[in-house]
A and B are shown apart, each in its own frame.
Chain A
Amino acid sequence: METTIEKLTSKDFASDQEVRWCPGCGDYSILKQVQTVLPDLGRPKEEFVFISGIGCSSRFPYYMDTFGMHSIHGRATAIATGLKATRPELSVWIITGDGDSMSIGGNHFIHMLRRNPDVNVLLFNNQIYGLTKGQYSPTSEQGKVTKSTPMGSVDYPFNPIALALGADATFVARTLDRDPKHQQAVIKRGYEHKGTSMVEIYQNCNVFNDGAFEVYTEKGSKKENILLMENGKPLIFGANDDKGIMLDGFKPIIVNLADVSANDLWIHDETDLVKATILSRFYDDPTHPDHKPRPFGVFYVNSNKNTFDELFNNQMDAAMAKGLGDLDKLIAGNETWVVN
C-alpha cells in the first residue's frame, strides 16, 4: 500500500499560542524559516520534536505545533540525547541560546557533539542574556558594558564554531536572522546531515544588544564583512566581489582579484577540518592585524562518523538478536539451593 503524506504548509507548524518575543526580535525570523523548511522535509508532523533550554530563544517550542519540551537551563542537549537514543526514528531539534549552550550547558554541549547523535542544534547567538534582561554572555565581546559589567566585561568570549570543531562536531555552520534564504538553506542542510548538526544563527536582540551583527546585515558594510562559503567555490567577497582569500601555507591572506585569478584562490572544501579550523578563526575586529571577513555557510561536514544513536542501538540489536532474555533465569542466577 502506498502511504501518501499529506503536504503540510508552514501554517501547520504554528501552534495556537501567541508569540511573545519583543517586537523586532531576530527570533521571529528564525521561527518563520523553520516553519518554512519543515513542510519541505516530507515527514509527518508528529515525528518532529523540539527541545529547548531556558532563555528567550528557548520559548521557541511553544510556538511550534510539534512535540516539544521547554526544559531547564542548559540541559536540552542532554534531554535530546536520551530521547534520540531511545527513539532514533524521531527528528529531534535542539533550540538553545548562547548562554544556554555555552555557559550553563557548556558541558553537555561539547559532550553531545563528541557523541554525535543525529539531532539538529539551532544556536541563537545574540551575544547577550536576553531573558534575564541584558547581562553579558560567554559570546559577548570583551569589554562589553552591560548591567552586570558597568566597567566592561573582562572575560574573553567563546567562538562557538571553533568550540564545536574542537569538540569534534560533524556539521558546523553559521547563518544569520536577517538572511531568510541563507538560513533556510543552512537549516535544511543541517537536517540532512546524519549526525549532530550545529548551526549558529546570529540573532539580533534589539532590546539589550541591538546592532551586534549590524556590519553583516547593513547594506553599506555587509559585502565587505561577509564571506559566503560555498563548497567547491573560491572564497570571494567585497563590495564588488573584488577580493578573495588565498592560503599562504596555513596563513590566510586577502588578495585583490585584479592581481590574482579566481582559480588560484582558496577553494572551499567542507570536508577539510584543518581549513575549517582556519576559517573558524577569521577575526573580524577591524583593528586586529589579521582582520578578515566573517564566514557564513557550512564550515565543516564529516559524514564518516557513526552517530551515537546508531552505535547505541547497534549494541542493543546485537544483544537482543536472540530475543528477550529469560527473566526467571536471570533472577535465579548461577547458583541456587533448595530448602525443603
Chain B
Amino acid sequence: MSSSVDKELESVVIRFAGDSGDGMQLTGTQFTNAAALFGNDLATFPDFPAEIRAPIGTLAGVSGFQIHFGSTKINTPGDMSDVLVVMNVAALKANLKGLVKGGVIIANSDGFDSKNMRLANVPEDQNPLTDGSLAEYDLKVIDVTKITRAALADSGLGTKEIDRCKNMFVLGLIYWMYHRSMDSSIEFIKSKFKKNEAVMTANLKVLQAGWSYGETTEMFANRYTVAPAKMNAGVYRSIMGNQAAALGLVSASVKSGLPLFYGTYPITPASDILHELSRHKNFNIKTFQAEDEIAAICSSIGASFGGNLAITGSSGPGIALKGEAIGLATMLELPLVIVNVQRAGPSTGLPTKTEQADLMQAYFGRNGECPVVIVAAQSPVDCFNMAYEACRIALEHMIPVFFLSDGYIANGSEPWLFPQTKDLQDIKVEFAPERGNNDDKFMPYLRDEKLSRPWALPGTKGLEHRIGGLEKQNVTGNISYDPNNHEQMVLLRQEKVDRVADYIPLQTMDNGPETGDLLILGWGGTYGALKTATAILRGEGLNVSHAHLRYINPFPKNLGEILKGFKTVVVPELNNGQLVKIIRDKYFIDAIPYNKIQGLPFMSTEVVNKIKEILA
C-alpha cells in the first residue's frame, strides 16, 4: 500500500499532452467530467494540431488538453500547469515552458526512446529523463506502454489496439492522485464500447491499472484533495462553447415557435455547431451542408424569406465569402444570424488557434454602407446566451446579426448553471397577415417603431411583392435610383441598427466601481483572463475596474458614460487593435491598445504585468 500523504489544494492545473493519436483530448474530457460531477469549478483548453494525424512523434503532432479545477471560482484554464502528463518527448518539449517550476511531470518513458527522440529533433545524448535537465521538477517516469501491454497480455487484442488503451492508464493514475471517483469514466467506457466487449474490458482494466499503480508503488509521496467549489446553488452540467451556441440557437427556435434552418459549410472551429444541430432534428432543426459558404448563406436567406429562423455559420475565411450575401440580407431586411467562430488569420492562418481579429470584418467587411448588429460571447457558457440574443434581435428587428465566438471558448468547457426554458426571454414574431382584394396595396418596406419592416411570407394571399439587392424606395420597396432616397435608406438602415440599443441591457461592471484610475475594457473570449487579472490587481490595492462588452454594435447606451469615469482605458485584444479603434473613434478617448497575436489566449499574469506597467 502506498504511504502517500493527503494534501489539500485550492486549485490545480493539469495538462495532458501527447501525440494526436494518444487520446489526450479524451483523457482530458473524462477528467473534466469527473471534476465537474465532483463539484469543482473548472475551465478547460484543448489545444490540438490542425492536421488530423500529424506525423507521429513530432512537435507538430502534439495535442494538448489543459484543465484548471478548483474549490474557488475558476475563470481560465490557467496560465501555467502544475502537472504535466507527457506521452512522448515531443510533448514534453512543446509544453515544458508552460509548467511551473517545481511542477510534477509524469512521463511515459517509452515515448523517450531513440526513435521518438529523433522524431522530436532531440539529440540522442540529451534525453531529458536522464540528463538531469529536469532537476527542477518533480519527475515521475513510468513505462506506460510496457505496463499497459503487460496488463493486456491475455486480452487477445493486437498490439495496436492494446497501445490505444495507454491513455486510460494515465487517467486512472490521475484519478488516484486527486481522489476522484472513476464511476463516470467506467460508465463512459461501458457505453462507448458496448459493441466490442474485448476493447471495453481492456480499457476498464488499464484504467484500474493506472489507479492501482498509484496505490501500490511508492512513487507518489502525496495525494491531493481539491474540495468542491462554493458555487451558486442549482443544477449544473458541463458544456463546451460550440455546444452551448447550438443549444442557444435551438432554444431561440423553440421559444420563437419557428423552425430553424442552419445553412453552412464545414470549417474549423465552427463545424461542431453543425454536428450538434444536425442531431436535433426532432426540435424542428433543419441543417443543410451546402457546396460552399456562399450557397450556405444564400440557402439561409431563402429559408428566412420562407419564414424560418435562418442561421449561417462559419469562421473567418467563410465569412469573407459570405460578404456579398450579408449585404443582400441587409437590403432585404430579413432576419439572419451569422455565426463566426473566429480563428487566427488571415487566409487559412492558424485554423485551430484562437484570435479576435474578425471584429472589423463583422463591422465593416462589406461593400457599401452596410451596418449589421454584432454580439459576442465571453465564455463557453455565454455562447448560449449570446447565440440566443442574436436570434432574438434578428427576429424582432428583421435584421442580420453577427454572433461572434472564437476557437478558445468554442472548444473550452465549464460548468453551467443552465436555465429553465420558461425563464428565457420571450421572442415575439409576427408575420404580415393576408390581405383581401379591397385592402390597400401591401407595402413591404413600411416600418414600425424599431424601423423594422413586415415579414411577408410567400404563400400568404395578397402579399405578393418583390425584394432584392437594388436600392429601393422606402415604404413601397420599388426600385429607386433617386439620390435622396438612397441617402435616406442608408441612414435608415444605420438608424435601425442603432435603435437596437433600446432593446439590449445596459453595460455593467464585471469588477470594480464605475469610476477609477483604470478600466480594462474587453470583449469576447478574453473574459476569463481579464477577470482573473482584475481580481489580482484589485487584491493588490490598485484602483482597476473591468467591463466586458457582449453587445458590440450597437454598444450599450451607457458605455460612453462609463468610459468617461476613468483616467485610463485599456483595451486588451487578441488582434492588432480593432475594438480600440472603434472606441477611440466613437468616444474620442485615448484608449490604450494591448494586443497579443500568437493564436493563444491571454495569460492573466501577462495582463497583470501590462496593467501595472501602464499604471506605473
Q: Which residues in A have some Cβ–Cβ distance to B below 8 Å?
A: 15, 17, 44-47, 49, 51, 54, 61-62, 64-72, 75, 77-87, 89-90, 107-108, 111, 312, 315-316, 319-320, 322, 324-325, 327-328, 330-333, 335-340
Cα–Cα, bound, A90→B237 (Å) = 42
Provide 30 A-B residue pairs closer than 8 Å at the C-beta atoms, listed in order of the A residue. Answer: A47-B458, A51-B302, A65-B464, A68-B466, A71-B328, A78-B290, A78-B296, A78-B299, A78-B302, A79-B298, A79-B305, A81-B299, A82-B302, A82-B310, A86-B259, A86-B306, A87-B457, A108-B291, A111-B290, A111-B291, A319-B282, A324-B282, A327-B254, A330-B280, A331-B247, A335-B36, A336-B236, A337-B235, A337-B237, A340-B233
Q: Which residue of B lies closest to A50 (CB)?
A: B466
Chain B positions 297 through 317: 1 when the CB is less than 8 Å from some CB of chain A, otherwise 0? 011111101111010000000
Q: Is B4 an interface residue (CB 8 A)?
A: no
Cα–Cα, bound, A89→B459 (Å) = 9
CB pair A70–B469 under 8 Å, yes or no, is yes
Q: Which residue of A lies closest to B422 (CB)?
A: A328
Shortest distance between the CB of B509 and any CB in chain A (Å): 25
Q: Which listed residue, A85, A327, A332, touches B303 by the CB 8 Å rule?
A: A85
Shortest distance between the CB of A310 and any CB in chain B (Å): 14
Cα–Cα, bound, A15→B327 (Å) = 26
CB pair B283–A87 under 8 Å, yes or no, is no
Given A75-B298, A325-B283, residue A47 in contact with residue B459 (CB < 8 A): yes
Shortest distance between the CB of B231 and any CB in chain A (Å): 5
Shortest distance between the CB of B314 and any CB in chain A (Å): 15
- List the 4 closest A-B pairs by CB distance, nearest first: A82-B302, A70-B468, A82-B299, A319-B281
CB pair B466–A70 under 8 Å, yes or no, is yes
Q: Is B286 an interface residue (CB 8 A)?
A: yes
Cα–Cα, bound, A85→B235 (Å) = 38
Shortest distance between the CB of A21 and any CB in chain B (Å): 14
Shortest distance between the CB of A142 and any CB in chain B (Å): 28
Task: Enumerate chain A residues within 8 angstroms of B238, measured Cβ to Cβ.
Answer: 335
Q: Is B157 an interface residue (CB 8 A)?
A: no
Q: Which residue of A lies closest to B305 (CB)?
A: A83
Task: Enumerate chain A residues within 8 angstroms of B39, measured Cβ to Cβ.
Answer: 337, 339
CB pair A324–B254 under 8 Å, yes or no, is yes
CB pair B263–A72 under 8 Å, yes or no, is no
Q: Which listed residue, A17, A82, A87, A338, touches B288 by the CB 8 Å rule?
A: A82
Shortest distance between the CB of A336 and any CB in chain B (Å): 5
Task: Enumerate chain A residues within 8 angstroms of B232, measured Cβ to Cβ.
Answer: 339
Q: Is B325 an interface residue (CB 8 A)?
A: yes
Q: Which residues in B have some Cβ–Cβ distance to A below 8 Å?
A: 33, 36-37, 39, 184, 228, 231-239, 247, 250-251, 254, 259, 261, 263, 280-284, 286, 288, 290-292, 294-296, 298-303, 305-308, 310, 324-325, 327-328, 332, 417-421, 457-470, 478-479
Q: Which listed residue, A75, A335, A338, touches B294 by the CB 8 Å rule?
A: A75
CB pair A337–B37 under 8 Å, yes or no, is yes
Shortest distance between the CB of B53 and any CB in chain A (Å): 29
Cα–Cα, bound, A225→B239 (Å) = 68
Q: Which residue of A lies closest to B461 (CB)?
A: A46
Cα–Cα, bound, A79→B295 (Å) = 7
Q: Which listed residue, A107, A316, A331, touches B419 by the CB 8 Å rule?
A: A331
Q: Which listed residue, B36, B291, B417, B478, touches A107 by the CB 8 Å rule?
A: B291
Given A70-B466, A72-B328, A325-B283, residue A86 in contact with residue B236 (CB < 8 A): no
Task: Enumerate chain B residues within 8 angstroms of A78, measured Cβ to Cβ.
Answer: 290, 294-296, 298-299, 302
Q: Which residue of B lies closest to A70 (CB)?
A: B468
Shortest distance between the CB of B29 and any CB in chain A (Å): 12
CB pair B282–A320 under 8 Å, yes or no, is yes
Cα–Cα, bound, A324→B327 (Å) = 34
CB pair A49–B286 under 8 Å, yes or no, is no
Shortest distance between the CB of A35 and any CB in chain B (Å): 14
Task: Enumerate chain A residues within 8 angstroms of B282, measured Cβ to Cβ.
Answer: 319-320, 322, 324-325
Q: Which residue of A lies closest to B232 (CB)?
A: A339
Task: Enumerate chain B residues within 8 angstroms of A66, measured Cβ to Cβ.
Answer: 464
Given A46-B463, A75-B298, A87-B458, residue A82 in contact with residue B306 (CB < 8 A): yes
Task: Enumerate chain A residues within 8 angstroms of B254, measured Cβ to Cβ.
Answer: 324, 327
Task: Enumerate chain B residues within 8 angstroms of A86, measured Cβ to Cβ.
Answer: 259, 261, 286, 302-303, 306-308
Task: Enumerate chain B residues within 8 angstroms of A320, measured Cβ to Cβ.
Answer: 281-282, 284
Shortest distance between the CB of B360 and any CB in chain A (Å): 23
Cα–Cα, bound, A44→B460 (Å) = 10
Cα–Cα, bound, A337→B236 (Å) = 5
Q: Which residue of B lies closest to A111 (CB)?
A: B291
Task: Enumerate chain A residues within 8 angstroms of B324, measured Cβ to Cβ.
Answer: 72
Shortest distance between the CB of A73 and any CB in chain B (Å): 8
Q: Which listed residue, B33, B235, B295, touches A75 by the CB 8 Å rule?
A: B295
Cα–Cα, bound, A324→B467 (Å) = 33
Shortest distance between the CB of A132 and any CB in chain B (Å): 15
Q: Which residue of B lies closest to A52 (CB)?
A: B468
Q: Which listed residue, A49, A65, A85, touches B458 by the CB 8 Å rule?
A: A49
Given A79-B301, A320-B282, A335-B37, residue A85 in contact with residue B288 (CB < 8 A): yes
CB pair B295–A324 under 8 Å, yes or no, is no
CB pair A71–B298 under 8 Å, yes or no, is yes
Task: Enumerate chain A residues within 8 angstroms of B298, measured Cβ to Cβ.
Answer: 71-72, 75, 78-79, 82, 108
Task: Enumerate chain A residues within 8 angstroms of B307, measured Cβ to Cβ.
Answer: 86-87
Task: Enumerate chain B residues within 8 angstroms of A80, measured Cβ to Cβ.
Answer: 302
Shortest distance between the CB of B88 and any CB in chain A (Å): 31
CB pair A70–B261 under 8 Å, yes or no, is no
CB pair B470–A338 under 8 Å, yes or no, is no
Task: Enumerate chain B residues within 8 angstroms of A46, measured Cβ to Cβ.
Answer: 458-464
CB pair B284–A316 under 8 Å, yes or no, is yes
Shortest distance between the CB of B230 and any CB in chain A (Å): 8
Task: Enumerate chain B residues within 8 angstroms of A65, measured Cβ to Cβ.
Answer: 464
CB pair B292–A107 under 8 Å, yes or no, is yes
CB pair A330–B234 under 8 Å, yes or no, is no
Cα–Cα, bound, A77→B36 (Å) = 47
Task: Enumerate chain B residues within 8 angstroms of A85, measured Cβ to Cβ.
Answer: 261, 286, 288, 299, 302-303
Shortest distance between the CB of B531 and any CB in chain A (Å): 20
Cα–Cα, bound, A70→B286 (Å) = 25
Q: Which residue of B lies closest to A312 (CB)?
A: B286
Shortest distance between the CB of A216 and any CB in chain B (Å): 32
Shortest distance between the CB of B189 and any CB in chain A (Å): 15
CB pair A325–B280 under 8 Å, yes or no, is yes
Q: Which residue of A lies closest to B230 (CB)?
A: A339
Q: Which residue of A lies closest to B294 (CB)?
A: A75
Task: Enumerate chain A residues within 8 angstroms of B306, measured Cβ to Cβ.
Answer: 82-83, 86-87, 90
CB pair A332–B418 under 8 Å, yes or no, is yes
Q: Which among B39, B281, B463, B478 has the highest number of chain A CB atoms within 10 Å?
A: B281
Additional A-B contacts beyond A75-B294, A79-B301 (8; CB < 8 A): A46-B459, A78-B302, A82-B288, A107-B292, A108-B291, A331-B419, A336-B236, A339-B39
Q: Which among B300, B458, B463 has the highest number of chain A CB atoms within 10 Å?
A: B458
CB pair A79–B281 under 8 Å, yes or no, is no
Given A315-B281, A335-B37, A337-B236, residue A69 in contact with residue B421 (CB < 8 A): no
CB pair A339–B234 under 8 Å, yes or no, is yes
Task: Enumerate chain A residues within 8 angstroms of B325, measured Cβ to Cβ.
Answer: 72, 75
CB pair B466–A61 under 8 Å, yes or no, is yes
Task: Enumerate chain B residues within 8 angstroms of A62, measured Cβ to Cβ.
Answer: 466, 468, 479
Task: Enumerate chain A residues within 8 angstroms of B463, measured Cβ to Cβ.
Answer: 46, 67
Task: Enumerate chain B residues within 8 angstroms of A312, measured Cβ to Cβ.
Answer: 286, 288
Q: Which residue of A lies closest to B255 (CB)?
A: A327
Q: Which among B296, B325, B419 has the highest number of chain A CB atoms within 10 Å?
A: B325
